[in-house]
Structure 1
């Protein structure tokens, strides 16, 4: 049995009477999103509905009721739907199940629906009611079975693993079937036998006996009245119970190799050990407990490589032995990038967006591609308010400077830049495209070169490559249409007006700055920036012809066939130059190519979940590779 769906109405940031349905996968589920997106709200909704094991108390307060437009909701509801019941679970919980009839002649099935309805009273007290789809209350063995295992954020794993009456470790060990004491305490190697033998060995110890003898003969004999016998007994007092022994056990890691003394192994490693202990209980075949684990921020105190290893371990444990369902919330792009994209659920604006194949426009091959290439640097897109996808490192270095200069800094607007290289533009963009509404409210701008060289650049090209004058206008239009063919929903492609980013910047209004940047990037000696800028000015003053012809001459060292000048180096120099310009945002906007200004404005402007999709462009072909002419 696994949690198939979570339905929430008027709980925290999910309101206006519109229910939210969150589908979950069997196995591992990663819930990702920015701060205050509602990740913890989903986990708490499950906790409130099912209850949790351990010392966590689910107390509903007025702040759990949705409040919008100054109106406080008086009631919220949470419903958990379970599917995939085993024959044993069907037999054990038959009276609580809901029968779902089959379709098209298929056999019906049983599912378990557990609901929590909470009503807010006039005195702000809350009365929760739990019931099942069959109308019966959730009680007895069903409630005990459904309790989830919950690991809260910023948990103190070290304290949970230390001995103590209320430690989580003691609760885990007491619940494990193999740890329970046998009735026959005479069987060797059992905990019960070890406890009996230990107490006898202490009582029979020679030192203990000698102390008893001294107390009896040297002190108590003189103090006792005639006819009264005072005999001391030194031992463990009342016999140890099984629970008392368990509460004195501690779980820790051995010291590192070469260290003989007990040492603290660090919060991160204790955190991993704690998660493993919880999994040990959940995956015990004889444990009468739903194998559902809720973990907030498993990356706590873990360095990047350890995060990757832990997510791989959790994914493996969720699919092997007694299969556990694991729901994680995370802010770590490394965890998100290490998981199967089908297991990721994005959340924002009170709405969830699962990335499983039935919800996105990702194609089967896209999932394989993303599993290989979606690393931590790209996975930050899961947490962004806007995403810019580019084809090279030069754009990654330059675009933040351009955005800052026109008054739309990416850092303030929560925009991430993803370098997809020369292939795979839409393999990443389709992450944000949904099969049906609502639209994911994250604007995605794909910035690409037009790649149609101007006639004046003919001498810079490899033999056989055509220039703009050698194409029919319809060919160029078809070429641009192919680049924008897969736009839709929040994804929009912005194509440069002529050739490449660098050339179009130079032609568009940054000719002098591009000339200075290329001059600096070409230099490998010890000249100062002032000297190089003066050399750049001398060359710039000597240029003749149209702006396009000047742009070709300026960019020749960068764009000439066989050039080894680094585009990222030029971009770095240009970004440095631009940041020192006195231009106002309005002045800089006028100097930049319109497609870049439009792209920056698009990703820094908020969308809503119901926003209309960008207009669909005419389509010619369907390749994900950048279209090329000539």
Structure 2
């Protein structure tokens, strides 16, 4: 059995939302205030026996229209659906009264409802009837009435089966759940060491004499094991009594002095006087020891001296040990737990990326061993999303009060090719696309490194708008776009810009070859990047260079800045030639004078010949094209992009008198504008 979905109505950030879960690890991601923590709180309201179920007015969804508020008092309804999965003998017995599909593949539902009783409805209607719907503060007034006059009358209950049937469920039914929730802000030292029911003490009590408790029942009966443990404890009790007698002997003289103080303060009136007595159990003695961490060198350090991350791992290991204890029928008897759920909020808060990955592997292994039945993790970490399968990720976003839930593993075509591609390339960098508000997909490393710089020159920084730039390593946008296609079931609602090179090609006898824009003539057969033939839609658009003059990213940088030597770094192979060509552009030299500067070679001969045949190009256009072509021939991708980014950033922060003018190509500006919408 597993929790297959939850339906949440009017609870915090959720107006009316269904969220599907997988049978295993579920990683819930999303931006801040998207509702991730509220999802776990809603789940706890239904299945956590220790949950505080009484809500206040701030737990309601506040975007309910005034018309609906006046028609009915607001109510919270949370329904958890359980579906048959792995064969667990006690599952069906646990949910028998909640069944909605009593088949072999059963389904059961348990709901939490927080509502205003019918007897109070008329008073509620009388209180809100005079509030005008056109009043801009109408909703505020209704919520004020609820807070001051009605919230104290609200009641809660659990419902078995379909919630519309209104069949009450016994609260004791939830005692079969072991719901452990680790929030992001936690004091693990306190939780491990202090308090009457300290976690460490509980775990020690269960694992004390574990070699006996874990013996095979087929060989060693329960009675025999209990007798062995009683013998061990009797032996320890005798030794502890001897120890206590020694301690009391050492206190005889000191006790006389203490009792004199007691007599002086009146504590020994009426013949009574304080004394010392008692025994100490094995668990009490063991829990008095400090939890330490022993290193391979033999050095022992108290756990309290570890970093937060390490102590969090220790705490979570103890918590999982406690869950094992809670599910042990022999130890807990009728109070044993049947269905263990572990919910963790932001494990990355205290763990570096390598530990996050190791921790996830451990959780999956722990679940395979059936120590935990289902795991829910809410996270902002791209490292965690990169470490799990697409099928285990749930994306939650909230825009203007409307919640959107997406399932990346469910959006791909049945052939599985795109899903496999995305899963393979979804590393920590590309995983940022799942968290960002908008995305700019680019073909290569240069665009990825420079896009943020261009956005600053354009006056629209990407970081301010939570825009991620993702390098897909070529024209492989379509694989990733399955995640974001509007109107499709389970997809993520984001604005997406795809920045791609136009890459004109000319057909020769042996096939198509890349060509320069000025080589596209009235005769011959040509084609451009086929990606550009795809239709834009309401959320996804393609951006590329000008149809006549454009070619590639690097080509356009110079085409828009044909005299800017700032773009010429040490990584440019024909640096001196390009500087002379830029001077010719400024001087409006003849085309012949410019091509005379070329280094001798096959490519320069091709450019010089082709530019003369471009009869529909002006001389100004040809001059710019010559510089752009030779720049494209002379730059690499990665190293040049690093140098270029550094030069442009220094120029951006230079004094106004020293700052050089740099133009961002139109298609890049358009892509940045689109991502900001």
- Which TM-score band (shorter chain)? 0.7 to 0.9
- Structure 1 residue 560: Cα displacement: 1.9
Indicate conservation of the 8 Å contact 2:393/2:409, yes or no.
no
> Which residue matches 2:60?
65
Instruction: Choose the corresponding residue for 1:117, options 100, 107, 113.
Output: 113
Indicate conservation of the 8 Å contact 2:356/2:384, yes or no.
yes
> Which residue matches 2:381?
332
1:471 and 1:127, CA in 2 relative to 1: closer, same or farther beyond 3 A? farther
> Which residue matches 1:442?
494
* Partner Cα distance (1:267, 1:431) in 2: 36
* Partner Cα distance (2:155, 2:14) in 1: 20
Q: Deviations over 1:270-291 (max 9, x none)?
A: 1011112222233566352412
Instruction: Choose the corresponding residue for 1:155, options 170, 186, 202.
Output: 186
Instruction: Choose the corresponding residue for 1:130, options 148, 152, 158.
Output: 158
TM-score by length of 2: 0.71
* Partner Cα distance (1:322, 1:413) in 2: 42
SS state of the match for residue 199, structure 1?
helix
5 Å-filtered alignment, 1:421-500, equals: 421-422=473-474, 424-433=476-485, 436-437=488-489, 440-452=492-504, 465-468=514-517, 469=519, 479-485=528-534, 490-497=539-546, 498-500=550-552
Indicate conservation of the 8 Å contact 2:178/2:337, yes or no.
no
- Structure 1 residue 570: Cα displacement: 5.6
* Partner Cα distance (2:6, 2:505) in 1: 54
1:399 aligns with 2:451: yes
Q: Deviations over 1:10-49 (max 9, x none)?
A: 111222xxx2010011111111111111111111111112
TM-score by length of 1: 0.76
> Which residue matches 2:77?
77
Indicate conservation of the 8 Å contact 1:557/1:563, yes or no.
no
1:555 aligns with 2:628: yes
> Which residue matches 2:97?
96
> Which residue matches 2:673?
601
Structure 2 unaligned regions, length at least 5: 117-145, 214-221, 261-270, 329-335, 592-618
- Structure 1 residue 363: Cα displacement: 5.8
Indicate conservation of the 8 Å contact 1:394/1:572, yes or no.
no
Indicate conservation of the 8 Å contact 1:212/1:234, yes or no.
no
- Structure 1 residue 238: Cα displacement: 3.6
> Which residue matches 1:518?
568
Indicate conservation of the 8 Å contact 1:98/1:113, yes or no.
yes
1:30 aligns with 2:27: yes
Indicate conservation of the 8 Å contact 1:80/1:113, yes or no.
yes
SS state of the match for residue 381, structure 1?
helix
1:253 and 1:492, CA in 2 relative to 1: closer, same or farther beyond 3 A? farther
- Structure 1 residue 559: Cα displacement: 1.9
> Which residue matches 2:294?
254
Instruction: Choose the corresponding residue for 1:43, options 24, 40, 58.
Output: 40
- Structure 1 residue 488: Cα displacement: 5.5
* Partner Cα distance (2:404, 2:209) in 1: 41
1:111 and 1:446, CA in 2 relative to 1: closer, same or farther beyond 3 A? same
Indicate conservation of the 8 Å contact 1:33/1:331, yes or no.
yes
* Partner Cα distance (1:112, 1:463) in 2: 61
1:91 and 1:400, CA in 2 relative to 1: closer, same or farther beyond 3 A? closer
* Partner Cα distance (1:124, 1:144) in 2: 28
Quick check: which one's helix share is greater? 2
1:473 and 1:178, CA in 2 relative to 1: closer, same or farther beyond 3 A? farther
Structure 1 unaligned regions, length at least 5: 102-106, 221-229, 526-530, 606-630
* Partner Cα distance (2:249, 2:490) in 1: 80
SS state of the match for residue 190, structure 2?
helix
Equivalent pairs counted in the alignment come to 564
- Structure 1 residue 444: Cα displacement: 1.2
1:279 aligns with 2:330: no
1:384 and 1:87, CA in 2 relative to 1: closer, same or farther beyond 3 A? closer
* Partner Cα distance (1:112, 1:31) in 2: 23
1:368 and 1:158, CA in 2 relative to 1: closer, same or farther beyond 3 A? farther
Instruction: Choose the corresponding residue for 1:143, options 174, 182, 191.
Output: 174
- Structure 1 residue 159: Cα displacement: 1.6
Indicate conservation of the 8 Å contact 1:163/1:250, yes or no.
no
Compute the RMSD of aligned alpha carbons. Answer: 4.4
* Partner Cα distance (2:301, 2:647) in 1: 57
1:30 and 1:161, CA in 2 relative to 1: closer, same or farther beyond 3 A? same
Indicate conservation of the 8 Å contact 1:359/1:434, yes or no.
no
1:124 and 1:210, CA in 2 relative to 1: closer, same or farther beyond 3 A? closer
Q: Deviations over 1:424-474 (max 9, x none)?
A: 43333323236735763311111110111699xx9xxx9964455468899
1:537 and 1:594, CA in 2 relative to 1: closer, same or farther beyond 3 A? closer
